[in-house]
Structure 1
Amino acid sequence: MRAAVLALLSSLVLTCLPAAAEERVTLGVGRLFTNDQIGDGQDRWRTGSYSMSWMRGAEGTMARPGGLGEVIEYRFGHRILAPADLTSPTPGDRRYAGIMALGAYSHFTRGGIEFALGGELVAVGPMTRTDVLHDATHEAVGMPRPSAAVRAAQFGNAVYPTIGLEAARPVALGGAVLRPFVQVRAGDETYARAGVDLMFGENFTRGITARDETTGFLYQTLEDAPGRGLSFLVGYDAAKVFSSAWLPEPAHSLTPLRHRLRAGAHWQGEHVGLFYGAAWLGPEFIAQPSGQVVGAVQLQVRF
């Protein structure tokens, strides 16, 4: 484990080294919040997450450059996985997991193909203090709190070095863009995924977008990229998951494929942008009785 962590850290340092002497500046910060309370109104499985992407590159950058390492996304993620019942889980349901991730990805384009390549350190367990935050939040709003038994059974402290690659080929269709993509990830979850997004409007068809790990939604990361008005996105993907630290065998049997279907709209004004979308997430393990609908929100404020 120690060797893997050092190898990942070394690769991230090399990825983040400047490809040119030009000084990097902050190009924008993209954020996306997801929760099933603003989706199907439940509190279960992939119940909540927060993603933040801090983009750094040469001043004036408005699209993916041609060189590896010229634009770097420093990514922070926080996710909560939970059983369907936070107080008395059904035997065979998934265990509670409080997950935090920190990493870096290079965004670039080659031959008309858009790439995102990088890695993360994914931490889980009581050391993330996620269960404490979850408990306090639910107490404050009068929702069921994770029981002592659920918190005691959560995944223990661990760190997973994780690497990921996404490649997409945008195709212009009149006023829309069709963006088929493939994605591979190895680490906390190891999978191969293929899918497509259909995008209308400048919030998604310009700039540099990042992909949310929970829902698959693309969200804008460059502050000055989107023009005013409405933008829309629909998407679908399927993943073959080879292993999951969050659904370990033999306690759980993974579904043959993991499906996601999503749709959302973004409104951009002069200073404020607002996105809302809903994503259907199919069952991830055989004992999961149904899929779930997770809502996603992004608020952008420009001064």
Structure 2
Amino acid sequence: MVFLKFLLVGLCFFALPHGIQAKEKTKLLGYGLLFTNDFFGDGRDRWRTGSLVSSRVFGRPEMTRTWRRREALNELRLFSQIIAPSDLSRNPDRSDAGEKAGLMEDIDRAYVGHLSIGLHRHFQAGGLAYNFGVDASLLGPQTGLMGLQQTVHSELGQPFPSDFVRNTQVSNKFVLGSLIEVAQPSALSPSTNIRPFVEVQTGVEDLIRIGVDVGLFGDLSEAFFARAPVSGQRYSVVDKREEGFLLSAGVDLTRVIGSLILSGNALRASKYRVRARVGLNYVQGRWSNFIGWTYLSPEFEQQHTGQLLGSFFIKARF
């Protein structure tokens, strides 16, 4: 498995640009971001409770429809997420019977702060769309995300992490990871497209994923979309139309091989996960907007139910 990780990271590294030639000046073509939180879903403030992904895409100015050709778009991606147990304020003592007995219903995942920066290269060849990326991640207290959440929750009068949650969080780690996604986009009609895909990911989590995205009742075919890591929602980064909308839906199945964010002697990660999502992209003049919802199936065997996340962005184009 270690050899496979290094192989995938190396493959992604050599697929990325190694400098910018003077004769091929690049510029920022667009940016995108997506905020995801269960406050806009089931409202339970637990597990995959909040994340933010932001993308900047660079290319030559004349590359208006490059992602349909062999020339590549280069994406700088910033990502942060907070993963929390179902009860942030839990603070059991040594006499906690559930903890001592290891009862299934008392076992929960540890708190995780996660920050990452990545470089991704997007291109098309032979009717397939490719994304090769490498990401460097920080996990644990060093991210400062628990302190940020505590400040926000304190201002809003919401529960914040207890000493027990703080002391049992995932420890500091630096992780180098890779991602490869191969998709086959095709048009079923002028207003409907389908995009089956396969993804392999190593690093914070090692997994293999297969899925499909469908665009319905709209046309943003000239837009470039990136995929959010947690929800799988595809958010627009480069918008070419002045007006348009796209209703999208997607589902994927994940085989989990390993995870650094599901730890604990009694915690057993689910071998398979399912994500199902629906979203709406809307472009009007300078404004580009998205709203969507995603269902995540349980990620560990003791998790008694899935969760619903809400995602949105509002951005202005200049």
Please say whether Structure 1 and Structure 2 have the same fold, judged by a TM-score greater than 0.5: yes
Q: Which runs of 5+ in 1 are unaligned?
A: none
Specify every segment of 5 or more residues in structure 2 that has no aligned partner in the other structure, as ranges: 92-104
Provide the residue aligned with 1:276 in structure 2.
291
Q: RMSD of the TM alignment (CA)?
A: 2.3
Residues 39, 159 of structure 1: alpha-carbon distance in 2 compared, 3 angstrom cutoff: same
Give the match for residue 197 of structure 2. 181
The separation in 2 between residues aligned to 1:190 and 1:98, in whole angstroms, is 18
Give deviations 1:25-84, integer Å, cap 9, x for gaps: 00111100000001111100000000011101111323316447x321011000000001
* 2:309 aligned partner: 294
1:253 counterpart SS class: coil
Q: Would you say the 8 A contact 1:65–1:71 is kept in 2?
A: no
Query: Residues 160-239 of structure 1: matches in 2 within 5 Å?
Result: 160-174=175-189, 175-200=191-216, 201-203=218-220, 205-222=221-238, 224-239=239-254
Q: How many angstroms apart in 2 are the aligned matches of 1:49 and 1:226? A: 28
Give the whole-Å Cα distance in 1 for the aligned partners of 2:311 and 2:27: 28
2:242 and 2:193 map into 1 onto residues whose CA distance is 16
Report if the CA contact (8 A) 2:243-2:283 is conserved. Answer: yes
1:73 aligns with 2:75: yes
Offset from partner CA, 1:109-135 (integer Å, 9 cap, x none): 110100000110111111110000000
Q: 1:13 to 1:45 in 2, by over 3 A?
A: same
| 1:52 aligned residue | 54
| Within-5 A mapping of 1:25-64 | 25-63=27-65, 64=67
Counterpart residue type for residue 78 of structure 1: S
Q: Deviations over 1:128-171 (max 9, x none)?
A: 10000000011111111111221121111111110010011011
Structure 2 Cα separation of the partners of residues 225 and 251 of structure 1: 50
- Which has the higher mean CA deviation after the structures are superposed, 8-17 or 153-162? 8-17
| CA distance, structure 2, for counterparts of residue 256 and residue 11 of structure 1 | 26
Higher radius of gyration, 1 or 2: 2
**Is the Cα contact below 8 Å between 1:72 and 1:106 reproduced in 2?**
yes
Report the AA paired with residue 202 of structure 1.
D
- Count of aligned residue pairs for this structure pair: 297
2:97 aligns to what? none
1:22 to 21, 24, 34: 24
Within the candidate set 124, 138, 159, 2:153 is matched to 138
Check the 8 A contact 1:279/1:294 in 2, yes or no. yes
TM-score (norm 1): 0.91
TM-score by length of 2: 0.87
Question: What letter matches 2:215 in structure 1?
Answer: M
Q: Distance in 2 between matches of 1:214 and 1:225?
A: 26
Q: Say if 1:145 and 1:258 are closer, same or farther in 2 by CA, change over 3 A.
A: same
**Runs of 4 or more consecutive aligned structure 1 residues displaced over 6 Å after TM superposition:** none
Q: Is the 8 A contact 2:12 2:132 kept in 1?
A: no
Q: For residues 206 and 14 of structure 1, what CA distance do their matches in structure 2 show?
A: 24
* Residue equivalent to 1:258: 273
2:139 pairs with 1:124:
yes
Distance 1:282 1:206 in 2: 32
Q: Classify 1:35/1:250 alpha carbon distance in 2 versus 1 (closer, same or farther; 3 Å).
A: same
Q: C-alpha distance in 2, partners of 1:188/1:286? A: 19
The 1:10–1:127 alpha-carbon spacing in structure 2 relative to 1, beyond 3 Å, is farther
Shift of 1:267: 2.0
2:219 counterpart letter in structure 1: E
Q: Deviations over 1:77-123 (max 9, x none)?
A: 00000001101177320000000011100000110100000110111
- Secondary structure of the structure 2 residue equivalent to 1:221: strand
The separation in 1 between residues aligned to 2:36 and 2:201, in whole angstroms, is: 21
